[in-house]
Amino acid sequence: MHELSVAQSVLETVLDVARKRGAERVLSVRLRIGEFTLLNPEQLRFCLEVLAEGTPVEGAKFEIEIERGYFKCAECGHRWRPEDESLKDPSLHTAFDLSELTELLDLKCPKCGSRAVKLDGGDACSIESVRLEVPGEQHAQG
């Protein structure tokens, strides 16, 4: 379960932002996770909530937005969405390197048949915003 390690990294970053801004507590954290990261949003939220206990992040609202991903052919430039069902294949969850995903799915470009297929978006996890309670300020954005 890589949700735990991602949650730890997110929490460390959020705590660092809160500390630098002099925040008493964190009100909300908005994350964007790519569907190709194979992160489970519910598990990630659970890990964040558990790890946040006893910190200024405890009680914060975690908003998680899913970024859709595409495949792109390196030969002809065609861009397409995968079948959503193909992303539910349990064997994909063994991919530790996202570049392995195109190999595991045995992808071919639907336009030209090339196997030179790359991920185009949906492969990252980012903190989009952090809402803080800073003494003397009205709900600062971080």
Domain spanning 1-68+123-142 has what CATH number?
Answer: 3.30.2320.50
* Known binding-site positions: 2, 73, 76, 109, 112
Q: Where are the domain boundaries for CATH 3.30.2320.50 in the chain?
A: 1-68+123-142
Q: pLDDT digit string (tens) for 45-77?
A: 999 999 999 999 999 999 999 999 899 999 999
Query: In terms of DSSP bridges, do strands 70-73 and 117-120 run parallel, antiparallel, or are they unpaired?
Result: antiparallel
* Known binding-site positions for Ni(2+): 2
CA distances from 74 to 27, 86, 108, 111 (A): 43, 21, 11, 12
* Known binding-site positions for Zn(2+): 73, 76, 109, 112
Q: pLDDT digit string (tens) for 117-142?
A: 888 999 999 999 999 999 887 655 65
pTM check: above 0.85: no
Give the burial class of 70: count Cβ atoms within 10 A of its Cβ; 0-12 exposed, 13-18 middle, 19 or more buried.
middle
